Amino acid sequence: MQSREFKVNSAGINLAVKTWGNDNDTPILALHGWQDNAATFDRLIPQIPDYYWIVPDLPGHGLSEHRGKGAEYTIWSYCAEIIALADQLGLEKFILLGHSMGGGISNLLAAVFSERIEKLILLDVIGTITTPANNSLEQLSMGLKHRTRQALRKPGVYSSLDEAINARARKGVTVEAAALLGVRGIAQSEAGFYWQHDQRLTQKNLLSMCDEQLRPFLRAITCPVLLITSTQAVQREDAIKLRVAEIKNIHVENLSGGHHQHLDGDVDTIAGLVRTFLK
């Protein structure tokens, strides 16, 4: 499978989009995780042919535009941009695949636009990050103080490409996986090499949903769902079980591996599970 690249303005922001396959085939919109980019699926997608894969760099990530001054990176703002992208490409119905934050976005989209989502594939995430309602005051207070009292951090600058790759690898992926992400994620200036995602992504969320707010979104998902979790999942096992119980038509597979197992783990097994589910 050969990949292609283009840029499109979606909800007022320019997105870099990577595609695989034939645009006459069933479309699958794939969304990457926080501080990753479209390259996170470069090992998985070639093993799942016969579909039209559409993989954007989310705003503030990879080769896509950063949001304007004063904007926030809330999960619901991503939802607006992704459904606008689907509209731009004429996707009346499509399949969603999401990893981590991209899975959270996909969860919300599958609930709100249930008539358009044919299937949902979640990689090591179900639902979104939540905060107990009683902690909302503290969360907003911390988020606002973080923005007013602390200068936005500058990206780390490295003397070589290898140093930049190794810095990402130390955050939980293999060097090979970090190098793949670096193709779209690393830029070079006179000072050296740096990861070019928007540094505002590191700011604390001002507010998150609580579990009670998330529950109706899980219940509203009507399409078949495949959830592939890992033994090193970022979500607690008890929380995963409670959320799984809210979705009507869901199949769960738990694999031994890390949070990026679709990129640096048993990709063959994951691809096989996805192919079976799609058929």
Among the options 3, 10, 64, 100, which is catalytic?
Answer: 100
Query: Strand 225-230 and strand 13-20: pairing?
Result: unpaired
At 243, which helix (H) or strand (E)? helix 237-244
| Whole-angstrom distance, CA of residue 74 vs CA of residue 85 | 17
173 Cβ neighbours under 8 A, 6+ residues apart? 181, 258, 260, 263, 264
Give residue 254's region: left, alpha or beta (phi > 0; psi -120 to 50): beta
Q: Does residue 114 carry a catalytic annotation?
A: no
Separation between Cα atoms, residue 41 and residue 185, nearest integer Å = 14
Which residue numbers are catalytic? 100
